[in-house]
Amino acid sequence: MEKIDRRILKSQQAIQAAFLAMLVHEGFDEITVKSISEKANIGRKTFYLHYVDKYDLLDKIVDNHLKRLREICDHKKDKGFIEGTIIWFAYFQQHKLFFASLFRSESTLSFRKKLLTFIMGEIDKKLDSNTSINQTIDRHIILKFLGTAVMGVLESYALNETEDDIELVAKQVGTLVKRNL
C-alpha cells in the first residue's frame, strides 16, 4: 500500500473524530460543515478537500463500518447460524450510540439502504448452504422480508426499545431467521 501524506490522515482523523462526537451528543441533522470544521480545528475549506458534504462524510464512515462488519462475518462464516448472528450483533452493540444516532435521524436514508443490503447479503449466503424449505417463494422476497425484519429489530435495540441484552436479541433473531430459510 502506498504511503499517505501525514496531513491527509491528520485532517481526516480530526474531521471524523469531531463528527462522531457531535453525532452522539447532538443529532446528524443539527450538524453543519461549519461546526465540524470548528470542532476539528481546521479550515472549512479543508473539509471540502476531503468530502463533498456531511452526507458524503457519513457515507464513508458507514462504508467503513460495513467493510469491517463484512470482514468479521467472513472470518466467522464456518460457525453456525445463530453463533454467527451473535458475533455481528456484538459489533453492532459496540457502536450502538453511533447507529442509534443514524436511526434517529430523518436524513440518513442511504444508511438504512446500505445496512439493509448488507443484512440481505449475509442472509443470502446462508440461504445457499441451507436447502430452502421455500421452493414456492421468490428468493428475493424472502431476502427482503427477512432483511427488513432483522434491521427493524436492530433499530429497536439501538433505540432502547427492548430490554434484552444483545446476545439474547441475536439468539432470538437467529432462530427466527433460520426458521424461514
Residues that bind DNA (CB under 7 A): 3, 5-8, 10-11, 32-35, 41-46, 48-50, 52-54
Range list of H helices, 26-165: 33-40, 44-50, 54-75, 81-94, 96-104, 109-129, 139-158
115 within 8 A of 158, measured Cβ to Cβ: no
How near is the Cβ of 6 to a second copy at its closest, in Å?
7
Task: Write the binding mask 7 to 36 for a second copy: x where contact by CB under 8 A, - elsewhere.
Answer: ---x--------------------------
Please identify, using beta-carbon distances, which residue of 42 and 73 lies nearer to a second copy: 42
Per-residue cell: 7: 496531513
35/156 with CB nearer DNA: 35
Kindly report the number of other CB atoms within 10 A of residue 146's CB atom. Answer: 22
From the list 92, 93, 104, 97, the residue with the least C-alpha distance to 28 is: 104
Counting every residue, how long is the chain?
A: 181
Task: Tell me which of a second copy, DNA, none is bound by residue 11, counting a contact when its beta carbon lies within the kind-specific cut-off of 5 to 8 angstroms.
Answer: DNA
The Cα–Cα gap between 67 and 126 comes to 19
Task: Find the binding residues for a second copy in span 37-96 (CB under 8 A).
Answer: 41-43
Partner touching 54 among a second copy, DNA, none, CB below 5 to 8 Å by kind: DNA
Cell of 167: 446476545
Q: How far is the CB of 12 from a second copy (least distance, A)?
A: 14
79: left (phi > 0), else alpha (psi -120 to 50), else beta?
beta
Q: Which residue lies nearer to a second copy by CB, 43 or 152?
A: 43
Which of the choices a second copy, DNA, none does residue 95 contact, using the CB cut-off of 5 to 8 A by kind? none
Select 13 or 132, whichever has its Cβ closest to a second copy: 13
Binding partner selected for residue 125 from DNA, a second copy, none, CB under the kind-specific 5 to 8 Å limit: none
User: Grid coordinates representing 81?
Assistant: 447460524
Binding site for a second copy (CB under 8 A): 6, 10, 41-43
